Amino acid sequence: MDWDDLRYVLAISRAAGLSPAARALGVNPSSVYRRLEALEQRLEVRLFERLRSGYRLTESGEALAEAAARMETEALAVERRVLGTDVRLQGHIRVATSEAFALHVLPPHLAEFRTMYPGVSLDVSASNQIVDLTRRDADIAIRATATPPDHLVGRSVGRVGVASYASPAYLDAQGRGRPLAEYDWIGFDGQLAHIRQARWIAHNIPDTRVKLRFDSIGAVVAAVSHGVGCSSLPCFAADADPRMERLPGTYLVTDVQAWLLTHPDLRKSARIRACLQFFGTRLAADAARLQGRPDPETAAQAVSP
């Protein structure tokens, strides 16, 4: 059986639909449909139930998907071990990071990395989704987290501080020094709905004062800078921005740290090792910026809910 056929079965089973499976595979939904139809005709068996809610594996489909998943696991393990023995400082590295890091932390370091390692190409995925390094969704992750996965290796480069901000123009219009709950706030939605800033807003601000929500840190930063309202943001995204003014007493002491992570099988690869060392050094030098400036009079009391 063609391994590509099994990849399509796995993608459909994981996504429960043709369109999301097509996005994961990088093809058109019609290609996924034709591939599945041809495979089912060739095997003379139905692999998926076509439901209004999506595609669900049949008993035969489950057996095939389980076998395909085992094959994928073995193939990825071999791929990681082979890559881990590569001593060349050239090739591709897939880096997964958050939107906030991609916008506000990494750009100057990416430029320097390209100069130092011209033979290495970086494919950077800037997303708030959690990637699976075991499945080679990425080779390296640069993330802010309080709980890095135990099966990965890497290092912390410092804590990530957050505080609340508004534009000077907004505060000029609304008045400085008012209770926080009297301002309009911009909240977080989608995959950002459970981050610490979102929890802080939910804990401290009445829901009626949250006038807008985004599933993008970049969109929240833009909205705050244009005077839409206040929000809780990473200090590295706002402290140095003249369009932002921090609200006193809102700095949060959290257990979130910036981490560089990779799979143990990859750490012997020359280009992976060089990438980890480079970004580890540069981000460690950014530690004060990542943590932000604590509010001296309130930092000891400010905690993340």
DSSP state letter for 129:
S
Q: Inter-axis angle of helices 29-43 and 18-25, to 10 degrees?
A: 100
Tokens of 58: 């049949």
Consecutive 10-residue runs of the chain (305 residues): their mean pLDDT? Answer: 83 90 86 92 91 89 89 73 60 92 94 91 87 76 90 91 97 96 96 92 96 96 97 95 94 88 84 91 93 66 43
User: Is it true that 3-84 and 91-160+255-291 share their CATH fold?
Assistant: no
Tokens of 282: 């540069």
CATH class assigned to 91-160+255-291: alpha beta
Where are the domains positioned within the chain?
3-84, 91-160+255-291, 162-246
* pLDDT score for 268: 78
- The CATH label, of 3.40.50.300, 1.10.10.10, 1.10.1200.10, 3.40.50.150, for the domain at 3-84 is 1.10.10.10
**What number of CA atoms fall less than 13 Å from residue 119's CA on the CB side?**
9
* pLDDT score for 112: 93
* pLDDT score for 261: 93
Alpha-helical (H) ranges within the chain are 3-15, 18-25, 29-43, 59-84, 99-104, 107-116, 168-174, 196-204, 217-225, 235-238, 270-285, 287-291
Q: Identify which of 262, 229, 259 has the alpha carbon closest to the alpha carbon of residue 244.
A: 229
Contacts of 65 (CB under 8 A, 6+ apart): 9, 10, 13, 57
CATH class assigned to 162-246: alpha beta
* pLDDT score for 157: 92
Do you know the residue count of the chain? Answer: 305
Tokens of 260: 């560089």
